[in-house]
Structure 1
Amino acid sequence: MSVAYDNLCAAIRDYYAETEPDAYVDAWVIINHKRTLDLEANGQSIVGVLSSPDLSWVMKRGLLDVALTEDRFSTESGDDDD
């Protein structure tokens, strides 16, 4: 693994150690939207998926399904105009 990836893993672990000290994260998935000048010039972008080390396809798919379900049924509008 790269140093940057190891740092990300440590940062996720540290975040949850601070915010939920009685729990630990054994798997995670990050979805990101990436752009470059070349992509923007062509009206394109990339969606990336990054996950914790050794995460099985089944677990990754399960985490993504939970995230999508929660998003679909969320009562929050996403508007922060308040």
Structure 2
Amino acid sequence: MATKRDIEGIILGSCLREYREKLKEKDSKWTQQYVAEQIDLDDKHYGKLERGYHSDLRFNTIRLLSKVLGFSIDELSEKIDKELEKQNKQSE
């Protein structure tokens, strides 16, 4: 289990939070706890995901999150790639 944040984890967490917050704008039930319950995950663990402490998620967890939060895995991958590209340009 990852105990430190890395850039991939931070970006992944940011994307997950963004998807969840968009849903929460329409319905307040979309808390971290609610999402965690939907994918049978401890809410503290899910909170760590959104804060960037776990970049090495199992594919099944990402698949479940995509169903619950309504994004495609391709869409998530593209968002992460774009953010990594931005980070790389900023560090040059």
Q: TM-score, normalised by structure 2?
A: 0.31
Larger strand proportion, structure 1 or 2? 1
Greater relative CO, 1 or 2 (CA 8 Å, sep 6+): 2
Larger helix proportion, structure 1 or 2? 2
| Larger Rg computed on CA atoms | 1
Q: TM-score, normalised by structure 1?
A: 0.34
